Amino acid sequence: MLEMVELIPLYELPMFLSASMMGRSMTNKRQQGFTYLSALILVAIISMVAVSTVQVGTFLQRRAAEEELLKIGIEFRNAFISYASSTPAGQSKLPSNLEELLRDPRYPNTRRHLRKLYADPITGKSEWLPISARTGPGIAGVSSTSNLKPIKTGNFDSIFQEFEKATTYQDWQFVVNFDHSLDSRKKISHRFQD
């Protein structure tokens, strides 16, 4: 037997459709709200991970710059030792500026104690703070121009033990002590040849 299906008059069809969709629409809105909230939480988590990754990257980059600063400082120190060791009689043992390490004006031929004026790896600039000699005219060393606090605070080479007390990179002074310079040069050169 056939059952009678109630037919909805055509003029009532829009109201019927909107009422039947209403129940389904509320469920979808709840799901959309949950999806939106989940997406916001996911974006927040990704942002936190990205920020921490950038911080770790910055830290590692600065540590690498510190190591590079120490190597360049040793190059400068060795250049000051070379300049002093090859001093002709009656001439100053110290350069009056850093350019004299690139081309020694005391000799008619080109004589180099340093290949180039390195950029400070902490600041990225080729500017260094010259350190005046304790006795007499001339420059006895260099230091960085950066006022940042060093990350490395210990485990330095024996000739750089005073760096442990440094509060800024300017306190990392690559200075030659001419009383012990030749012995120190051998230790430094040997250490970085490995």
For the ranges 64-68, 86-90, 153-157, the maximum mean pLDDT occurs at 64-68
Question: Can you give the pLDDT at residue 185?
Answer: 43
What is the mean pLDDT of the segment spanning 5-17? Answer: 57
pLDDT confidence band for 177 (50 / 70 / 90): confident
pLDDT > 90 fraction of the chain, expressed in percent and rounded: 52
What is the mean pLDDT of the segment spanning 157-183? Answer: 82
* Under 8 Å between Cβ of 118 and 126: yes
pTM for this model (two decimals): 0.69
Q: Enter the DSSP assignment of 127.
A: -
Q: Which residue has the higher pLDDT, 91 or 184?
A: 91
Closest CA to 60 of 50, 72, 52: 52
Q: Average pLDDT of the chain?
A: 81
Count of C-beta atoms within a 10 Å radius of residue 166? 18
Cα(172)–Cα(166) distance, integer angstroms: 7
Asked if the model's pLDDT at residue 149 lies above 90, the reply is: yes
What is the mean pLDDT of the segment spanning 138-156? Answer: 93
